[in-house]
């Protein structure tokens, strides 16, 4: 049962045995099958991605539609997306959990305050838990509204549309995102994502920083669950029969490598200020995991939630 597995992997004392965790760096081909990336003419180096010839894409055999892309990002690409998640997507007018706690004044942004003020950073850094973009997730009603909606960033729209095409999933338009910020002791309990209108459209979950144990079960909490290791850059796609599976994150583990810190990559900070900023972001990510969870809300052709096109 999902809850039992969650409790098992969450435990600190005794710590869980990780032997049964699916690690797609060493894929067990009796459990996963390799999928070839769909050939697409244009390369997307501007999205921080490696050439698709080098990608490893797998489908979990027992969970059709549950697709895993092993880190398709370059080292510079990891730095780009980590910076976007930490510094930019956490900014107003995007919504964050901090809005409810009144720990920032109206014109203050979490990252700017944390990078300028050591004392406030100690308190504020661990407090950010989520930011929402596009159609904002309503944590109480779970219902999207045209009156509670912001912009979706073009880069996130382009990245997820590209990932959908390469994975052979026809249409996808990013219309809503949750950025999850985890510290080493954070968890995300089991849930399904069913606020969206179109379950035919996949859901993209892109992780950076420290490693997460991702638990994915069935359509009911009574079903058994599999645990997968998600390292920095790994992408999970929940599509088709796996779109509505229960899933959660019972544990964050210290990363066994830091692909965002590749020594061979050319230094991409263009000014001293950018380098100082990146050092601070690196320090944050050394004890955090961030996850971009991107969804399509509307059916193809539907322009708003009020548009009743079927």
Q: Which residues bind ligand AKG (CB under 6 A)?
A: 178, 180, 188, 193, 205, 207, 212, 214, 230, 247, 249, 291, 293
Q: Which is nearer to ligand AKG, 56 or 186 (CB)?
A: 186
SS3 62: coil
Residue positions forming the annotated binding site for Fe cation? 191, 193, 247
Q: Which is nearer to ligand AKG, 225 or 230 (CB)?
A: 230
Q: What DSSP letter does each residue of 108-127 carry, written as one string?
A: --HHHHHHH-HHHHHHHGGG
Contact 78, 48 (CB under 8 A): yes
Least separation in angstroms between CB 219 and ligand AKG: 15
Q: Which is nearer to ligand AKG, 121 or 203 (CB)?
A: 203
Q: Which is nearer to ligand AKG, 51 or 189 (CB)?
A: 189
Least separation in angstroms between CB 92 and ligand AKG: 21
Least separation in angstroms between CB 111 and ligand AKG: 20
Closest CA to 188 of 308, 291, 61: 291
SS3 158: helix
Q: Which is nearer to ligand AKG, 149 or 295 (CB)?
A: 295
SS3 7: helix
Integer Cα distance of 196 and 296 in angstroms: 7
Least separation in angstroms between CB 36 and ligand AKG: 25
Please state whether beta strands 247-253 and 188-191 pair in parallel, antiparallel, or not at all (unpaired).
antiparallel
Residue positions forming the annotated binding site? 191, 193, 247
HSE, side-chain direction, 13 A CA sphere, residue 283: 13
**How many Å from the N-terminal Cα to the C-terminal Cα in the chain?**
36
Least separation in angstroms between CB 43 and ligand AKG: 27
Residue 226 has phi, psi (to 5 degrees) of -105, 145
């Amino acid at each position: 049962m999902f809850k039992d597995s969650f409790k098992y992997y969450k435990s600190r004392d005794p710590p869980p045995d990780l032997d049964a965790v699916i690690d797609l760096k060493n894929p067990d081909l009796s459990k996963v099958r390799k999928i070839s990336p769909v050939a697409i003419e244009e390369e997307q180096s501007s999205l921080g991605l490696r050439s698709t010839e080098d990608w490893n894409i797998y489908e979990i055999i027992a969970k059709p539609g549950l697709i895993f892309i092993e880190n398709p990002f370059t080292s510079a690409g990891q730095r780009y997306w980590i910076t976007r998640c930490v510094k930019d997507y956490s900014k107003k007018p995007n919504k964050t959990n901090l809005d409810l706690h009144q720990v920032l004044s109206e014109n203050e942004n979490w990252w700017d305050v944390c990078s300028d003020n050591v004392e406030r950073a100690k308190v504020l850094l661990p407090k950010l838990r989520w930011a929402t973009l596009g159609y904002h997730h309503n944590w109480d009603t779970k219902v999207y509204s045209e009156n509670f909606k912001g912009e979706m960033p073009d880069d996130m729209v382009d990245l997820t549309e590209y990932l959908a095409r390469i994975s052979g999933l026809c249409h996808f338009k990013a219309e809503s995102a949750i950025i999850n910020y985890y510290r080493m002791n954070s968890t995300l309990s089991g849930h399904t994502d069913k606020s969206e209108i179109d379950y035919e459209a996949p859901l993209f979950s892109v992780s950076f920083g420290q490693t997460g144990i991702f638990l994915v079960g069935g359509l009911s909490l009574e079903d058994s669950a599999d645990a997968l290791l998600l390292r920095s850059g790994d992408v999970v796609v929940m599509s088709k029969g796996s779109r509505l599976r229960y899933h959660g994150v019972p544990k964050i583990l210290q990363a066994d490598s830091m692909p965002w810190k590749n020594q061979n990559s050319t230094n991409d900070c263009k000014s001293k200020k950018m380098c100082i900023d990146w050092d601070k972001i690196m320090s944050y990510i050394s004890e955090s995991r961030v996850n971009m969870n991107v969804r399509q809300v509307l059916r193809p052709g539907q322009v708003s939630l009020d548009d009743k096109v079927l």
